[in-house]
Amino acid sequence: MPMVVTGGGRVEGTREAILGILRRRDGVSVDVFADELGLAGATVRRHLDVLLRDGLVSVEQERGRTGRPRYAFSLTESGAEQFPHHYVRLTHRLLDEIVQLDTGETEGRDGTALADLLFDKMSGRLAGEYASRVSGETLEERVRSAAALLAEEGLDFDVEAGGEVGYGEVGGSGIVLLGRGCPCARFASGRDVASCDHDRQLLEDVIGSPVSALKRADLPSEFLCGYRVGG
């Protein structure tokens, strides 16, 4: 699915790559873009000017710095909307679970309890379908394979090996999965962990290794949920 800008035109390859970097983290400087993309700073600035014009990125000057001003770029809401969200399959799965409920399962349950039951059932079915399809000899390979498979269902996770990107407290040993669009993230509302137990159990069953939830305070701002696999 090609990425498009609000006005209907294609986002050119380099600008798409810039948006991809900003999708993973906020506050990125021109120098960081240039280093990651292998481009001259002037070239990066030209692409950023277009993205600023189209409202896909925003920019702020960092305060408290001496010398030449440093500008930090972030993804706007319009920019985030350029990435596809594949929720159709999840919607169909939830509808299938709803029509299979019997009166004994629904009796005495309020809306939240019913939603919890549906996600629990759906997670179990997904685990049953995908666990046998996960490939890879190492844990990291299995995690990346699982993330790719679940992306087909609209469950969007970034995979970070320990220290690979260095998200503050998220770095360190083990492998981290960071999610943007968990449809049941509201189950974690008010809790100290940034997760829902349905996703945590699903990931554990599919990967075949213990999965623990990250604390909300350790979660990068652009993600809704986070999990550590292994150590």
Answer with the one of 80, 106, 130 that is the final residue of a domain: 80
How much is the pLDDT for 164?
Answer: 45
Check whether residue 70 and residue 184 sit in a common domain. Answer: no
Beta pairing partners, 225: 179
Residues 16, 203: Cα–Cα separation, whole Å? 29
Residues 182, 133 within the same domain: yes
In a domain, 200, yes or no: yes
Write the pLDDT tens digit of every residue in 7-38: 444 446 888 889 888 877 778 999 999 998 89
Which among 196, 198, 231, 192 is positioned nearest to 215, based on CA atoms? 192
If one counts the domains in the chain, the total is 2
> Do residues 105 and 58 both lie within one domain?
no
Q: In Å, what is the CA distance from 229 to each residue of 132, 139, 177, 214?
A: 18, 9, 8, 10
Whole-angstrom distance, CA of residue 113 vs CA of residue 108: 9
Residue 4 lies in a domain: no
pLDDT of residue 196: 77
Q: For the chain, which residues score pLDDT lower than 50?
A: 1-11, 163-171
Specify if 217 maps to a domain. Answer: yes
Q: How far apart are the first and last CA of the chain?
A: 36
In CATH, what number is assigned to the domain containing residue 56?
A: 1.10.10.10
Final residue of a domain: which of 35, 56, 80? Answer: 80
Q: Which domain holds residue 60?
A: 13-80
At 181 the pLDDT is 61
Q: Say if residues 88 and 8 touch (Cβ distance below 8 Å).
A: no
The pLDDT assigned to 30 comes to 93
